[in-house]
Amino acid sequence: MTGLLVLDFDGTMTDAEREGAPYRTGVLEDVALLTGWPQQRVFDRAAEVEAEIAANPHAHGWQFGGQIVAPASVDPYLRIMPVARQIFDEAGVYRDEADRARLLEGLLYKYNYRKTAIAFRDGARETLLAMTGKPVYVVTNSHTDAVQDKIRHLGGGGDGGPLSWLVPRVFGSARKFVLDDSFDAVPSEMRLPGLDRPVLLRRRDYHDALFRLLREQGCDWSDLVVCGDIFELDLALPMAMGARVGLVVNPFTPPWEKAFLADHPRGALLTDVPSIRAFCGWDD
């Protein structure tokens, strides 16, 4: 039986493609302004790069600190990063990596995330309502207040109504993408068949966010279930620590992630949100 469930939110409880469309548009409009390219040229080139990513997902990833920390193909938030980088390269602007990272992961993400739509996956409301009284928390890369607002909306507005219990249990800005080579509680990497690069594990900030919850709940890693839509960001680190993990798949989930989780004794492929309850043993 699950002692503690930690959910990712965007892309896990929401439809990332629908909610992320305005975000993608906003970022590309800003890229046009920053490069001096006409907007149509930017949008046309973005579509070409996205097609290249879809055709060869192994060769593309979200880079942070000069290392790939997640696949680029899974959702609009990840895809836009290599797209913007490619256009900046071709325009010859923001060549300094530190400046580019601050611009992309800082300013452009922060200000365009506010433009995202609200689009939940089927069954999200019913699943969370059925978890009332359970040890459920949200740990997300997204900003705390933005995800709390989505939960309030899902609950019917105001304070969140029947979902108000979950609002204070949201922990945002988890920085799941940040690597720390000095963090040696886990190996530096794991290998997935079918993926020709390592999955990097030493994500101290994410580890510490999970560990604080475990300590508060009096749980061990073996009591933890984590469900998310991106294996490298959401699930690899807790799996390495001994947790059970459920990958909530979408049409863009990389095949190597699905194959790995399908065969792992502590992993599961979840085709919809209601499946999370069954994976936790809470479907009675």
- The tens digit of pLDDT for each residue in 12-55 reads 999 999 999 999 999 999 999 999 999 999 999 999 999 999 88
- Amino acid 65: pLDDT: 84
**pLDDT tens figures, 266-277:** 999 999 999 999
* pLDDT, tens only, 39-49: 999 999 999 99
Pick the CATH number of 4-16+119-280 from 3.30.9.10, 3.30.1340.30, 3.40.50.1000, 3.90.1580.10: 3.40.50.1000
Determine the pLDDT at residue 153.
Answer: 96
Q: Which residues of 169-197 are buried (b: 16+ CB within 10 A; e: fewer)?
A: bbbbebbbbbbeeebeebeeebebeebee
> How many Å apart are CA 109 and CA 151, to the nearest integer?
21
Instruction: Provide the percentage of residues in the chain whose pLDDT is more than 90.
Output: 87
Q: How confident is the model at residue 1 (pLDDT cuts 50, 70, 90)?
A: low
Q: Could you tell me where the DSSP H helices lie in the chain? A: 16-35, 39-55, 76-91, 97-101, 109-113, 124-130, 144-155, 204-217, 236-241, 255-263, 275-280
Lowest mean pLDDT among 102-106, 136-140, 145-149, 267-271: 102-106
- The confidence score (pLDDT) of residue 12 equals 97
pLDDT of 14: 97
pLDDT score for 8: 98
The amino acid at residue 152 is: R
Q: Which residue has the higher pLDDT, 59 or 20?
A: 20
Q: How far is CA 163 from each of CA 151, 168, 217, 275, rounded to the nearest angstrom?
A: 7, 10, 20, 19
Q: Measured between alpha carbons, how far is 281 from 278 in angstroms, rounded to an integer?
A: 5
pLDDT band, very low/low/confident/very high, at 64 (cuts 50, 70, 90): confident
CATH 3.40.50.1000 residue spans of the chain: 4-16+119-280
| pLDDT at 59 (0 to 100) | 81
Give me the pLDDT at residue 2, please: 79
Q: Would you say residue 56 has pLDDT above 90?
A: no
Reported as a pLDDT band with limits 50, 70 and 90, residue 101 is confident
The total number of residues written for the chain in this structure: 284
d(CA 70, CA 63): 8
Per-residue confidence band for 97, with pLDDT thresholds at 50, 70 and 90: confident
Helix (H, G, I), strand (E, B) or coil at 12: coil
Per-residue pLDDT of 160-218, as tens digits, reads 999 999 999 999 999 999 999 999 999 999 999 999 999 999 999 999 999 999 999 99
DSSP 198: P
- Give residue 234's pLDDT: 98
pLDDT given for residue 214 in this prediction: 97
pLDDT at residue 201, rounded to an integer: 98
